[in-house]
Structure 1
């Protein structure tokens, strides 16, 4: 392909975000999701479907999202809920980028999606069917709906994407891992377009029961809307969520050539492993710092250049303390920090993709969303957490953090274009 040089502000090898899609407890569509995080009001509720779990707090899709109408009854039967959410987000992202799958060269379109628990809903449904009725009652579709790889595989079928196709599963760091991997595919000239992001539907009895048993979930059952409170002194755990987000990535030159809109530059990517503990973060934050410094070097930025951090901010005592101390120690500019999990909950492998969408929008609009339920900052932290209302800032560079079980760390630096 003959690729003209882009504008002076972008180099040939630069990778830009050209489309966004999202679905979460705020509803379907980026506009609804952005309005919700700017409002700064938690969407957590007690979940009747999980009434037998000791902590039944979740951020589930609202009834206004009609998956059957969007996906079709037949496709609903042969796909897991995680995949269904991914389809909604991907379709929106492609449309937002001004692309038409009927017209693109599918062999040059790749998909990299992240997830943590994959087809958790299908696994639980079939397990209980097996336990109650026997193996002859297991659905023949189970083997093609539940495996994690089917998330990207089904998106390829829906969108006519025949290029590299994969699912990354780096726990709660999966979204940024997908972004970084997709960026590398473009830089290696293996694709001209890559859809990246994450999808997760983990709201099952087994998943939440396990999170409760390990002490990771909030137990503030008397006030669900106050349960998720990142960096707050009274935080007591996360609120699990479902959702999906997809970003369309292209080389800057290709975006310019087709008259597309570059929404942000994917300036840098970094990843690392703590090698410390299966669930607890390294209290020194060494692995996370390594990933951040890697992303900054990749972007040719310094810690002083970052004006905004969309933090992992899970509302768990250990994570927020470790991350808050790291931000204070590492970023000399004292960036404006937020955690949008306070509003949307923790969507595990989709969380980082949703937060990447929020980071792009913050750069575009010069608005940092508030962190819900921050009444009193943890006294051990000295960071500038935005609370109460959005903060207007002339942003040029921002970072999004994602840290997951197993000591997985992945971060992405975005800049304005």
Structure 2
């Protein structure tokens, strides 16, 4: 006897990105083609060819706190790095949007699964310890660091920087007693986390899951890592045009920051609660095409496998897909590889969006932020233009949406992200009202 899979719908959205805070600010910017990338303001930077960044402006986690969480949140802010603050605040927005504030659910049946990245420490917190152990000739004395330096570091310092602390703070505030996990897969992290949360509900281990991801690469160490990895943008013009997905003049990654948190819910549970439903998550696929010497497969084999896996899981034919929300990293090799994969799966006609031109690379938050953008797009029947794709690379043989938004009445889409180590995660989603009788 085949047991029907439990259906999983999306009932809450919370987003914070360089486009603004909340759904209205996000959709207004996307509809108008107004990006959030500009010249870096958080700290001075020298020695890099490009100082463009996607920064979240006017952000106050205390201002976004739910009343009953405000006291606890204020107490714990000193133990939250910016990545954690972004995630917690976006979760507050999602919980309010889903109606969970008023209760009506069993705490043992709500869990959390989040994507998170490497959180960079505030440099001045480690500077005294490092200075003590640095000799006059510039070498480092590890024995001095261990004996004299470490006692100079705040005892609870590490709690600010552990990737699992995003989920910890959110689960404590919302009394989530169900399954809990954190996935650290760079740009693939939030889609992978959403996919795992989807499976948890399908298996009957929870009725509700808070999921998505957050990250901030607006940090000197992140800029240094990008430079060492050779992926940073080399754009010399207006910083707002530095991130150019699929464009013939694209030249590297622009760092960003943000959080996208969604509430997933079993369909019958959502209907009983009278929940607002944004759409249904119908499939998940993951793959890896890492090469022994690093980098991704130039033909995008991992991307192809992940997309096919999500479509097979959802029982959706490629011809029925209304658009693909792509990684669109803005590097020459990655964008070509991705486009080749879509050409093989969909042919030349599926509309493709690359939204990082609006936000920069929000890393572990990008999948969920872009998923929310696609849900808003299907709700409005309008696909946002791919910002800064002024001249499509002639080697890219897919239909990149550019030159202005495009009308669409097809609510089915694939959301995909991958990291520089070849890990790929894809989600298949049917936006809009749900037919409960299917």
TM-score of the aligned structures, taking structure 1 as reference length: 0.92
Q: Please tell me whether the aligned partners of residues 324 and 415 of structure 2 are also in contact (alpha carbons under 8 angstroms).
A: yes
Aligned twin of 1:8: none
| Aligned 8 A contact 1:238 1:345 in 2 | yes
Write the deviation string for residues 99-156 of structure 1: whole angstroms up to 9, x where unpaired.
2265532211101010122x2245x453334313632221222122211111101111
The 8 Å contact of residues 348 and 397 in structure 2, kept in 1 or not, is answered as no
Matches within 5 A, 1:145-184: 145-184=160-199
What is the aligned partner in structure 1 of residue 56 from structure 2? 61
- Asked if the contact 1:268–1:413 (Cα under 8 Å) also holds between the matched residues in 2, the reply is yes
The equivalent of 1:352 in structure 2 is 367
The separation in 2 between residues aligned to 1:279 and 1:218, in whole angstroms, is 19
Match of 1:406, SS state, is coil
| Stretch of structure 1 that moved more, 276-285 or 216-225 | 276-285
Q: Does 1:47 align with 2:48?
A: no
Aligned partner of 1:3 in structure 2 is none
CA contact (8 A) 1:111 1:164 kept: yes
The aligned counterpart of 1:317 is: 332
Tell me which moved more, 15-24 or 71-80.
Answer: 71-80
Residue deviations 1:268-291 (CA, integer Å, cap 9, x gap):
100011131575220121121111
Q: Deviations over 1:325-353 (max 9, x none)?
A: 22122103711111110101110010011
Cα 1:103/1:180, change in 2 over 3 Å: same
Structure 2 equivalent of residue 89 of structure 1: 90
Change (3 A) 1:80 1:285: same
TM-score, normalised with respect to structure 2: 0.88
Between 127-136 and 298-307, report the one with greater CA deviation: 127-136
1:361-400 Cα offsets, whole Å, 9 max, x none, are 2222211111111110001112111113211111131001
In the alignment, which residue of structure 2 is the partner of 1:105? 106
For 2:400 and 2:106, how far apart are their aligned partners in 1? 44
Q: Could you list the runs of 5+ residues in structure 1 that have no partner in the other structure?
A: 1-10
Aligned match of 1:17: 10
CA contact (8 A) 1:37 1:344 kept: no
Distance 1:276 1:399, change over 3 A: same
Give the one of 254, 257, 272 matched to 1:257: 272
Q: Which residue of 2 aligns with 1:127?
A: 126
Which segment drifts farther, 100-109 or 307-316? 100-109
Q: Is 1:12–1:251's contact at 8 Å kept on the other side of the alignment?
A: no
Structure 2 SS opposite 1:250: strand
Q: Which has the larger radius of gyration?
A: 2
- What residue in structure 2 maps to residue 226 of structure 1? 241
Match of 1:5 in 2: none
Measured after TM superposition, the shift of residue 69 of structure 1 is 4.0
Range 275-284 or range 217-226, more displaced: 275-284
Q: Which range moves more in the overlay, 23-32 or 234-243?
A: 23-32
What secondary structure, in the 3-state scheme, does the structure 2 residue paired with 1:189 have?
Answer: coil
Post-superposition offset of 1:323: 0.7
| RMSD between superposed Cα atoms in Å | 1.8
Is the 8 Å Cα contact of residues 111 and 179 (structure 2) preserved in structure 1? yes
Contact preservation (8 Å) 1:20, 1:245: yes
1:73 Cα deviation after fit = 4.8
2:86 is paired with a residue of what secondary structure? helix
- Distance in 2 between residues matched to 1:277 and 1:339, nearest whole Å: 28
Does 2:203 align with 1:195? Answer: no
For residues 121 and 26 of structure 1, what CA distance do their matches in structure 2 show? 25
Q: State how far apart, in whole Å, the 1-side matches of 2:192 and 2:102 are.
A: 25
Q: How do 1:323-334 and structure 2 match up within 5 A?
A: 323-332=338-347, 334=349
Match of 1:28 among 21, 29, 33: 21
Specify which of 299, 308, 312 is matched with residue 293 of structure 1: 308
Aligned residues: 404
Please state if 1:402 is matched with 2:403. Answer: no
How far the C-alpha of 1:37 sits from its partner, in A, is 2.0
Provide structure 2 residue ranges, at least 5 long, that are not aligned to the other structure: 66-72, 133-148
CA shift in 2, pair 1:39/1:215, >3 Å: farther
Displacement, 1:53? 5.1
Contact 1:115 1:200 in 2 (8 A): yes
Larger displacement relative to structure 2 (47-56 or 335-344): 47-56
Farther-moved stretch of structure 1 (338-347 vs 99-108) = 99-108
Specify the SS of the correspondent of 1:93: helix
CA contact (8 A) 2:18 2:258 kept: yes
Q: Tell me how far 1:84 sits from its aligned partner.
A: 0.5
